[in-house]
Structure 1
Amino acid sequence: MPRPNQTVLDFLAARRSRPAKTLTTPVPDAAALRPLLTIAARTPDHKKLEPWRFIVLEKPALQRLAERIPDRAAALGIAVEQAEKTVRQFADADLVVAVISRPVPNDAVPEIEQILSAGAACQNLLTAALAAGWGANWLTSWAAFDRPFLESGLGLAPNEFVAGFLHIGTETATPPERPRPDLDAITEWVRT
């Protein structure tokens, strides 16, 4: 019979992202962030392809990205309210880790598996930040999928995209619990 780590199970059962707009300074410095990134990189990675990488965005970089949003939003016909929300996502943040998915050609590892590995890196980083006592939230937005924004703002190569923008900081408010899925409605048991 396995021996459960009840502390970890209790943490995971109560895990709750913190809304990015409620995060503030202080944020983890490089020494505090490095162990979290190390945990994020301990994700399932068939054939050790490392089909993801991290870009740590500090306040000046986030401000620079925020300033690019209005023009890109206008060019794409995005509503002013939605554009402003995306501006705030970057301008109000103090630290964001962009997890970049970068699938590589490999006959043994389908692209979707590599993309899922990048998603697992996002989840590992989110969970590690929360376990370390920080507030954290995994976001995207239309900007995460806009090639001109990604290439000019983040320097991404054509085969790369943002799997997630992980906001990390000090939480200012504990969010209320939200409704969770009905496990019976989403689980099928196959016994034969």
Structure 2
Amino acid sequence: MLNNLSSLPAYLASRRSGKPRDMVAPGPDAAQLDAILHLAMRTPDHGKLFPWRFVKIEDRDAFAAMLEKAFIATNPDARAAQIEAAIAPSFMAPTLIVLLFAPQPSPKIPLWEQQMSVGAVGMNLLHAAHAHGYVASWITGWASYDPVVRNAICQSEEQIAGLFYIGTAGQPLEERPRPDPAYIVRSWP
């Protein structure tokens, strides 16, 4: 947990995404998860439209059954091993949150700004989990784009922005390659 602002750069540099399949208990309890979600909501949101929603996946067996139905609908000839792999994410990590993009009608706030807001919520969710001592990961994959999954979880124009897995690291977290600033930072004029 962050004790003072002078340690903020080191704290931010220490955040890593964990592999959901390697996450173990404990995950956040109900009060911690509530705090994590409240922190995630503290994000830029031009127009105060709240173009995002959270779905707590509490019944993992029901979620797996829905994923199986969705996968088979798209892959009717799937073998048992393929189906198992498709539903395996249902049981990874102690906590699973689905972040939804919930576009709001607005004559002033373009869709692009609303999409950036949901991205900021996702990043805040990762940081909030880390601040509470957990590891988290933001995954999309086939289920995020599947129409059966979308119909089961989303309302109206909502779309799945990603699945967020939260738990305790069961394996050491790896540092992934980071971009060289020389290639992605430029000055103007």
SS of structure 1 residue aligned to 2:100: strand
User: How far apart are 1:18 and its partner, in Å?
Assistant: 1.0
Structure 2 distance, partners of 1:29, 1:148, is 30
Structure 1 residue runs without a partner (length 5+): none
Aligned equivalents of 1:40, 1:94: Cα separation in 2: 19
Give the 3-state SS of the residue equivalent to 1:47 in structure 2. coil
User: Unaligned regions of 5+ residues in structure 2, if any?
Assistant: none
Decide which moves more: 39-48 or 94-103: 94-103
Does the C-alpha gap of structure 1 residues 172 and 111 become closer, same or farther in structure 2, counting only changes over 3 Å? same
Give 1:159 deviation, angstroms. Answer: 0.4
Change (3 A) 1:172 1:65: same
TM-score for both structures, normalised by structure 2 = 0.89
Amino acid at match of 1:148: V
CA distance in 2 between partners of 1:91 and 1:136 (Å): 15
Q: Verify: 1:5 aligned to 2:5, yes or no.
A: yes
Match of 2:121 in 1: 121
Distance 2:11 2:48 in 1: 29
Q: Counterparts of 2:177 and 2:122 in 1: how far apart (Å)?
A: 22
Paired-residue identity, %: 35
1:141 alignment partner in structure 2: 141
**TM-superposition CA deviations, 1:54-111 (whole Å, max 9, x none):** 11112xx222111222332232239656654331111234311111110111011111
Residue identity opposite 1:124 in structure 2:
N
User: For the residues of structure 1 that align with 2:70 and 2:34, how far apart are their CA atoms?
Assistant: 32
SS in 1 for 2:53: strand
> Is 2:157 the partner of 1:182?
no
The whole-number CA distance in structure 2 between the counterparts of 1:73 and 1:96 is 19
What does residue 65 of structure 1 align with? 63
Shift, 1:145, TM fit: 1.3
Alignment match, 1:26: 26
Q: Is the 8 A contact 2:95 2:165 kept in 1?
A: yes
What is aligned with 2:157? Answer: 159
Q: Is the 8 A contact 1:62 1:94 kept in 2?
A: no
Measured on the aligned residues, the alpha-carbon RMSD in Å equals: 1.9
The answer for the alignment partner of 2:38 in structure 1 is: 38
Aligned partner letter, 1:186: I
Q: Distance in 1 between matches of 2:23 and 2:63?
A: 18
CA distance in 1, matches of 2:82, 2:117: 29
Cα distance, 1:124 vs. partner?
A: 0.2
State the TM-score, normalized to the length of structure 1: 0.87
